[in-house]
Amino acid sequence: MMMKKMVTISSRFLLAAVVLVAAISCKNENLIRRGDDLETAFDKSMRLFENGKYRDAAEGFETVLEIGRGTDIGQQAQYYLAESYFKDKRYLLSASEFERYVSLFPRSDKRKDAQFKEAFSYYKLSPRYKLDQKYTRKAIEKFRLFNSRYSGTPEADKAANYISEMREKLARKLYNAAQLYMVTDSYQAALTYYDLTIDKYPETIWAQRSLVGKINAYNIYAGRSVQSKKQERYQKAVDAYEKFIQLFPNGEYRSKADEYVDKARAALAKISNSDSQAKNSTASVDSSSE
């Protein structure tokens, strides 16, 4: 019985060793060795790429480029180096290598794909709206360059959608800054950021929300101002409403804008009545003194 168990265990170890040796042998076959010619090195790198081993493939293509830059194989290696980084989700590297490919081979039939993926790599690096947006801006810049060259293509339509999406994100970041200033009662700063949102990203939903925020900000600001500034600031709330109606007559936030402007107009009417009463009172005093 003991002998049978030992034979079974030995057989398992032997099988595992055979599998391990086979795996190592297969891996070694795919590694670029000293003495491999350029074509062999490229073929090995391509096998790694096709098998989904993108990190190893990238190393292989880097080696191919070291010995074959300036050749047709070197051109292919440059493209697949960028593609390997892209597939491996190393987007900063893929953006750089796709940019290099476009620069070195501007007439290549892969240029359109490379230029699109350069922009898309930056898109993938674009973080959530609260964080630094340098990659978002870079992606927009690169997609616009792509669209200027390849307008009317399906990829250009995709690029336009990505640009719109990222502009919404940038607008939201500005709007969020305005809201934070409102929380701290920093009305002038809040109004500055509402205006930036409206001016830079007028097509976004955040421009609508900024105009509504602006009406509300002027209302609150006026209510907390000295008497001599109240009328001016309530009037600016009304002006902001009129701009809202001009830009977004059927806007999603129309009812909220209506609510805020009603408060501004009521406050203006009250100020006007008070001024009239004060003038009448002054006139009465003057008459009686005569």
For the stretch 82-109, pLDDT in tens is 999 999 999 999 999 999 999 999 999 9
Rounded Cα–Cα distance for residues 47 and 253 (Å): 56
pLDDT at 279: 57
pLDDT of 194 higher than 80: yes
- Written in H, E and C, the secondary structure of 11-71 is HHHHHHHHHHHHHHHHHHHHCCCCCCCHHHHHHHHHHHHHCCCHHHHHHHHHHHHHHHCCC
Give the number of other CB atoms < 10 A from CB of residue 211.
Answer: 27
Q: Cα dist. 158→87, 120, 253, 255 in Å?
A: 19, 10, 29, 34
pLDDT at 15: 42
For the stretch 226-256, pLDDT in tens is 999 999 999 999 999 999 999 999 999 999 9
pLDDT at 274: 74
Query: DSSP readout, 114-137?
Result: HHHHHHHHHHHH---TTS--HHHH
Spatial CA neighbour of 150 closest among 141, 159, 138: 159
**Assigned superfamily of 37-121:** Tetratricopeptide repeat domain (1.25.40.10)
Q: Cα dist. 57→67, 104, 117, 118, 270 in Å?
A: 16, 21, 18, 19, 75
Output the pTM of the full model: 0.82
Alpha helices in 69-204 (DSSP H): 72-87, 91-104, 111-125, 134-149, 154-183, 187-200
CATH architecture, domain 169-272: Alpha Horseshoe (1.25)
- DSSP helix/strand/coil, 77: helix
CB-hemisphere CA count at 13 Å for 44? 21
For the stretch 55-68, pLDDT in tens is 999 999 999 999 99
pLDDT at 140: 98
Structure-block tokens of residue 74: 């070197």
Rounded Cα–Cα distance for residues 244 and 11 (Å): 81
For the stretch 113-160, pLDDT in tens is 999 999 999 999 999 999 999 999 999 999 999 999 999 999 999 999
For the segment 33-53, the average pLDDT, to the nearest whole number, is: 90
The residues spanned by each domain of the chain are 37-121, 169-272
Rounded Cα–Cα distance for residues 20 and 34 (Å): 24
